[in-house]
Amino acid sequence: MQESIRVSQAPELRYLLRLGDLCLIHAQRLGEWCGHAPILEEDIALSNIALDLLGQARGVLTRAGELAGGLDEDQLAFLREERDYLNPTLVELPRGDFAWAMVRNLMVAVLLELLWQRLQESGDEQLAAIAGKAVKEARYHARHAGDWVQRLGDGTEESQRRAQRAVDQLWPYHHELFEPDPVDEAAARSGLGPRWAELREAWQQRMAAELRAATLRPGADSAFRSRGREGVHSEHMGHLLAEMQYLQRAYPGGSW
């Protein structure tokens, strides 16, 4: 059994891990759709999106590994424990039905589009280069998910019911994304990237417009705050990592 690695608490590293982990865990959940999408073409589209996100995760984790003092993307992905994963809770929740997956895709894609847009001006050249490529992908992901949310929300009575249920269940998890904290503060001051809190208004406006077009209403506000970005995860995260990391843990140092 391969030992876990610990990573430093340096704010710039945590900022990168939040972003890289978001892409990685979201890609893992989308990968679960392979062979299960409602139509063949959509199966391909979901896999494409997952592959885009995995590519983004690789870029960011590789950069994070350099900052962490010589770790590589595989070590970061396969040898960190749950508490050292810093993805927002939103992306680790189980894959749900198709409406659920599309609403989550939309929430994440809009966030990533806004983030990558700003990160193109990052003081870290490598991150800026990744962002330049990723922003185009995120734009496509947002359009794809937005189209589906609109079709489902404005579709049959059943699809409307399911889409609204997805919005209601996922909505409370968006607050976490925009909570101000010292990691974001440090990144903003050093020029590494924007505070996620700065994106809140743009995100809410985009989502409101998308939901309105889909005849859906935003979820109710609540005091609930998930804390995945601080490493405090839902009960789903451990299972996800157990499956994802199994092989590397069982056969340490294997190359593939």
Partner 1 sequence: MNQQQDAAGWPLWEVFVRSKAGLDHKHCGSLHAPDSKLALELARDVYTRRQEGCSIWVVRSDQITASDPGDKDMYFDPMEDKVYRHPTFYKLPAEVDHM
Using CB under 8 A, list all residues that contact partner 1.
Answer: 39, 41-42, 44-45, 48, 140, 143-144, 147, 151
Q: Which is nearer to partner 1, 151 or 217 (CB)?
A: 151
What's the closest the beta carbon of residue 130 comes to partner 1, in angstroms? 17
What's the closest the beta carbon of residue 26 comes to partner 1, in angstroms? 18
What's the closest the beta carbon of residue 40 comes to partner 1, in angstroms? 8
What's the closest the beta carbon of residue 151 comes to partner 1, in angstroms? 8
Q: Which is nearer to partner 1, 40 or 223 (CB)?
A: 40
Q: Which is nearer to partner 1, 26 or 141 (CB)?
A: 141
Closest C-alpha to 146, from 55, 213, 205, 238: 213
Dig out the tokens for 253 from the structure: 């140092």
Question: What contacts 200, CB < 8 A, 6 or more positions away?
Answer: 177, 178
DSSP for 177-206, please give it. Answer: GG---HHHHHHHHHTS---GGGGHHHHHHH
Q: Are 117 and 135 in contact (CB under 8 A)?
A: yes
What's the closest the beta carbon of residue 60 comes to partner 1, in angstroms? 21
What's the closest the beta carbon of residue 147 comes to partner 1, in angstroms? 7
Dig out the tokens for 231 from the structure: 């490493």
Check residue 151 and give left, alpha or beta (phi > 0: left; psi -120 to 50: alpha). Answer: alpha
Eight-state DSSP code of residue 163 = H
Q: Which is nearer to partner 1, 35 or 70 (CB)?
A: 35
SS3 per residue for 204-252: HHHHHHHHHHCCCCCCCCCCCCCEHHHCECCCHHHHHHHHHHHHHHHCC
Q: Which is nearer to partner 1, 89 or 150 (CB)?
A: 150
What's the closest the beta carbon of residue 48 comes to partner 1, in angstroms? 5
Cα→Cα distances 2→71, 73, 254, Å: 15, 16, 11
Q: Which is nearer to partner 1, 41 or 125 (CB)?
A: 41
Q: Which is nearer to partner 1, 22 or 152 (CB)?
A: 152
Please count the residues of the chain. Answer: 256
Mapping DSSP to helix (H, G, I), strand (E, B) and coil, where does residue 69 land?
A: coil
